[in-house]
Chains A and B, each alone.
Chain A
Amino acid sequence: MSNTIRTRAMLNGDIAKIMALINHPMSLKIVNGKTIPLNFIEQVKAEINGKQVFLADWSAAISKNPFLAFKVKGAKAGDSVKLSWNDNKGKSGSTEFKIS
């Protein structure tokens, strides 16, 4: 679902800075004394032109609506980026966009 991830890519020479804002509650087990189920993103992956360039293992320590930014070397305009996440409840989301 591309509406769970907003992305932006900035190209500087051959280094691309990929930024993403992911819509996810990332909820802890106990908030303000109330027990709510753990719901957090377990993995975030990024592929450029089908090749994996980024993999992150996350935990409940990451806060709500996480922001992610990373740099990749060897990128060029027109490259297709695919960003995807999956959480501990089995849900997932992904989005694809081109570096301009």
Chain B
Amino acid sequence: MKTIRSISAVVATSLMLIPMVSLAGSQPNPEQDLKAFRQYFEQRFPNTPFKDFSNGSFAKGIGSPGAISQWQSMEEFPPYDFAVAKGKKLFNTPFPNGKTYASCFPHGGIGIAQNYPYVNNKTGQVVTIETAINACREKNGLKPLPWLKGDLADISAYMFSTSDGKAVNVKTPSTPAELKAYETGKKIFYTRRGKLDMSCAGCHTYHSGQRLRAQTISPTLGLVVSFPAYRAKWGALGTIDRRFIGCNKNTQAKPFKPQSTEYRDLQYFLTYMSNGLPINAPQWRP
């Protein structure tokens, strides 16, 4: 049954792919992409309420009851509690010049993570919470923190935890710089790369909900909403690009550099596609 369903799903998705592929000379239409994208996942997972997609492969209607109950017991008393508390402490510790991270962010950095990433139209660069944290440090005379893990992940996790439950609110790409970042991120997501010739979409869209060895593949809808995430494999928190790098390596594709324009454009595209989902970060993942 499952094979037949997946074949019809592949047929259905290749029909749906058409509006998503930008033909040469045509204007990108993120709103239309988002609508088609949501419809695809609604049809693929009819038993999953929209908000549940924030829980990835542990969402109702996607994960097995056993996996969901294990995830729930981990979330009951999460191992990342200490890291988030450390992140809060680091966030509130003043720099040598007396200022704090709060001075670099709107609302003092509290309850704003759902608005990231955004595109700085002057520089054309995608600004993520992580780049914003390091930009704040450099603005105040400090060296940037190393990407991917450690203090940076802890501070980012704290900031996202203050947005718990708030809907992802990335501004719809409309300026030339925003559309360029969006299109680049989208292209990276759908392009096959590396020795195994796999694309992100291949697994996370077209085989989402199916098994990859013992694990259920998480759907693209909501994929980034649980980050920074605590992965049991890492025994610690990691930012979204820590996962991008790991996943690229797993598919034998050369990873890009942490917080490179490629990964930031990808993060921008993926977060926009998860607009409306409630932030639930950090989360435990295997």
**A residues with CB within 8 A of B:** 6, 8, 19, 21, 23, 63-65, 67
Contacts and interface: CB of A to CB of B under 8 A. Distances in A.
Interface string B72-92: 000011110110000000000
A59 to B, nearest CB: 18
Given A63-B235, A64-B235, A19 B82 contact: no
Contacts of B79: 21, 64-65, 67
The interface residues of chain B, by DSSP majority, are classed as loop
18 contacts: A6-B77, A6-B81, A8-B77, A19-B76, A19-B77, A21-B77, A21-B78, A21-B79, A21-B81, A21-B82, A23-B82, A63-B235, A64-B79, A64-B235, A65-B79, A65-B82, A67-B77, A67-B79
Which range holds the interface residue count of chain B? under 10
Contacts, number: 18
A10 to B, nearest CB: 10
9 shortest interchain CB distances as A-B pairs: A23-B82, A65-B79, A21-B77, A19-B77, A64-B235, A67-B77, A6-B81, A65-B82, A21-B81
Interface string B248-268: 000000000000000000000
A88 to B, nearest CB: 20
A6 B78 CA distance: 10
Nearest to B85: A3
Interface string B60-81: 0000000000000000111101
Contacts of B81: 6, 21
Contacts of B78: 21
Interface string B104-145: 000000000000000000000000000000000000000000
Contacts of A65: 79, 82
